[in-house]
Structure 1
């Protein structure tokens, strides 16, 4: 778990009945329970699902961050309400503002937590002990409904946002209207774009078979381990014998991924685990899960294409077999 030092914590509340804010007049006392809960929430923002970017000095939203933490939180909560109030799906929300240190740098966080109803067992009420409780916080393991974390010094931000429905259409109101920024894709989204682009180029150049799919997963996993994914380097690995395919692949990605994707500041373990092995489904119903290092070792696994076009898989040097 990442190490956060929470300095200040303020909670305002949005009520959908009258679409008004219940504003706090002072920060909360940061107890060990609250510190653990909100540290886990913050950790969810530094993930492969977060969009990233950097505010400019002149960004009107960033200018709301001042030395007066309470005043800043109130102004941002009011700006959020103006942007969100048009949503067709309104429920109670806690608006959490956190001032914290991470790796020695001060950060400012704005988390939106949609509250929920839950059944609670109340002691001392034997006639009706089970009550429906409003305004229950989501579990600590859940990601915030929406979140913005900003490094105060560098102005770099991490963003998790939801689209809202208004007049029959959906919009990213948080980044477009509230923050007035155009963030980079999340790592999760970028990897999907890379995979789709690679498959399309391979298909156009008649290379899209199971061997290419496996090669692609292994190559992307290697880049994750290096904590940087650069389309040019990936192109050299995937299409090493075809210059036109390499150039086409890079060109198809330049709009959505103009710069190498940096991975040093987020938790990308889910994506890494997903790509660390090859999952093969065979036409005869057999399914194989083979770790990349074994898959690429010809002394352990060998794929043989038969003269009739079918495949044979030879698994070698097995010392023990267990039935799980």
Structure 2
């Protein structure tokens, strides 16, 4: 967070309960509280597991020009145009949440970014105090236009690096003109986006489970190998390699390897490797859950699954499996 520097910021009010947005004409005055609040949200957003990388389409040239001028007056005008476009989209498409839109220039990782942070309104409750004659009267009121606290994750944002116009975006798919769409990337910014790290990890796991079932049946050891390799990739380099997963899980079975690569590609992973965020690193499964037909659920640390001193899977003659858990201390 200390390496994020906020250079300028402006806040626009996009409350669709009224017919026009409240577009600020001046930059936000600096305050330590606001500066820290913004830095916290930007730092958390950059590590968000749902963040997607994007690149501008040819139709996005006007947006690039709009956000790239660093002069205060041009920045204010550009932010107002973006806010107006979002407000008009929200008025005609109720699925887009009302929000306060904060636009900023900030420095991070040796680059200057244009930030668009959408603080969607949440419902919350406050107390109200009145004097009725000589009596104190209190009650609870519902507020419908409160923004995210510093501890909440933003649902929608976009960061554009201004030296190469690379894009990071998190967005919600909502109904636009009768069809589900990502309005920030497709309607506003005009960018193509990749899958998020979270989506890619899910594809890697689910595709492996599908192919394992096709070639090996219900094999918890094979499923555990997927989780073990994912954990190793993340712990070693924060990069998940498709070939590494393929070779480790389907070693020697070339048909299964080819089937797995096809399944992963069909689901949208085109490269051989992808980077994950620190949020994904924390969430990569450290445990394997095993469910039996009788309703028993067993949760085991991934590290135990291939350690025969801890757990042993025994195939029975009737096709069932016995699970032997060893050397444990009950508590």
TM-score band (shorter)?
A: 0.7 to 0.9
Instruction: Pick the aligned partner of 2:81 from 75, 92, 97.
Output: 75
Query: What is the alpha-carbon distance in structure 1 between the residues aligned to residue 248 and residue 191 of structure 2?
Result: 34
Of 170, 175, 188, the match for 1:165: 175
Give the Cα–Cα distance (whole angstroms) in 2 for the partners of residues 17 and 35 of structure 1.
Answer: 29
| Counterpart secondary structure, 1:191 | helix
Which of the two has greater helix per residue? 2
The 3 A distance-change label for structure 1 pair 237 and 161 is same
User: Where do 1:138-217 residues align within 5 Å?
Assistant: 138-217=148-227
Match of 2:274 in 1: 262
Shift of 1:20: 2.0
Matches within 5 A, 1:280-319: 280-318=290-328
Deviations 1:188-210 (A, max 9, x none): 11122222322332233244432
2:244 equivalent in structure 1: 233
Question: In structure 1, what is the equivalent of residue 62 of structure 2?
Answer: 60
Say whether the 8 Å CA contact 1:303–1:312 is kept in structure 2: yes
CA distance in 2, matches of 1:19, 1:29: 27
Task: Say if 2:108 is the partner of 1:102.
Answer: yes
Deviation, structure 1 residue 185: 0.4
Aligned equivalents of 2:300, 2:124: Cα separation in 1: 43
More off after superposition, 154-163 vs 206-215: 206-215
RMSD across aligned C-alpha pairs, in angstroms?
Answer: 2.6
- Secondary structure of the equivalent of 1:85? helix
Q: Does 1:121 align with 2:127?
A: yes
Distance 2:80 2:310 in 1: 62
Give the conservation status (yes or no) of the 8 Å contact 2:130–2:138.
no
Structure 2 unaligned residues grouped into runs of 5+: none
* Cross-structure match for 2:118: 112
Change (3 A) 1:123 1:167: same
Q: Does 1:92 align with 2:98?
A: yes
Question: Which whole-Å deviations, capped at 9, do the CAs of 1:167-193 have from their partners, x for residues lacking one?
Answer: 543222221121222200011111222
State the alpha-carbon separation in 2 of the partners of residues 133 and 84 from structure 1.
20
Structure 1: stretches of 5+ with no match in the other structure: none
Query: What do residues 89-146 of structure 1 show as CA deviations (whole Å, max 9, x unaligned)?
Result: 4653101112222233222210112223433224565334544445222222222231
In 2: Cα distance, 1:133 partner to 1:311 partner: 56
CA distance in 2, matches of 1:315, 1:199: 23
TM-score when normalising by structure 2: 0.85
- CA distance in structure 2 between the aligned counterparts of 1:216 and 1:304, rounded to whole angstroms: 20
